[in-house]
Amino acid sequence: MPETRLVSWGLAVLTALGTSSCSLLVPEGSGAPIGASRRAGNSIATLLQTLESRVPELHRRPENDRYRLSLVLHPLDGGAPKVVVIARGLRSSDYIHAARLIADDGRLLWFHAHENAAYDYRAGRLLLGDEVPPGGPLGPMSMSRIVPPKEWQEPTDRFGTQYKRPALIRESPGGKPLRLQGPESVLLTYRSTRGLYGTMVLARVAEDGRILWTMDTDLQDVEQILPGTETMAVIGKKLPKVPDEVRGPALVIVNLETGAAHPHSLWM
């Protein structure tokens, strides 16, 4: 019977796959960021969750999914990111409501994943369990609060109607505008006219009004601003370049002296 031969052929294929190097597992997904990113030494740190490969199910049960949790460090100089695996085989419920970066005390980046942990970014060493120093971070735990982008921006009418929604980048949340030296200048942010709502543009403006450089981040929805005196990081959703492109999370690191930008996808 044709049906019998078809079944036998199917069983033979399954047997061959099972005894060969081929795999019937669903491949792992792309990693996605969890919570806010933070500065840590000479990097921008992000927690990343990745759905691990799994056996396919006729009726998928999310409680059977397992995740790998990692710490990703993007160097401020634009170098390749470093991925540090924290744990494997976790259920989403093991970490999803508690995972967060906590503090940077100048040597250790403190965070909570499925448990309290720290990363010694000078020695390049992950500290878990009994290796975590007692007492917690030495500095303030201010990193646990996500600062909205608007707290880093001071609306300004200094430039008239030349720019759309102009604002100066502040040195601290709700603080004074950031002052850069050599030459003395400020950082201006405004919206471009591209897309439905435009994208975030940065410009370094000298005291005499000269534009030293401009840089379009290509980010439509800005979620985080992480300023500094030498570099600035902006995180948000990138403007799609082609139709139907998914607006994935992106990180843009900007050199404040030259305006050179280093964009990174936060889907890994």
pLDDT (tens digit per residue) in 173-183: 999 999 999 99
pLDDT value of residue 195: 64
DSSP state at residue 53: P
pTM, to two decimals? 0.84
Residue ranges for the chain with pLDDT beneath 50:
6-7, 9-22, 140-143
Residue type, 177: P
- Cβ-based neighbours of 172, under 8 Å, separated by 6 or more: none
Express each pLDDT in 225-245 by its tens digit.
999 999 999 999 988 776 667
pLDDT value of residue 145: 66
Strand partners, 126: 119
DSSP state at residue 129: G
Express each pLDDT in 175-223 by its tens digit.
999 999 999 999 999 999 866 678 999 999 999 999 999 999 999 999 9
pLDDT value of residue 65: 92
Greatest Cα pair distance, the chain, in angstroms, is: 89
**Phi, psi (deg, nearest 5) at residue 216:** -90, 120
Instruction: Collapse the DSSP code of 205 into the 3-class scheme (helix H, G, I; strand E, B; otherwise coil) and give the result.
Output: strand
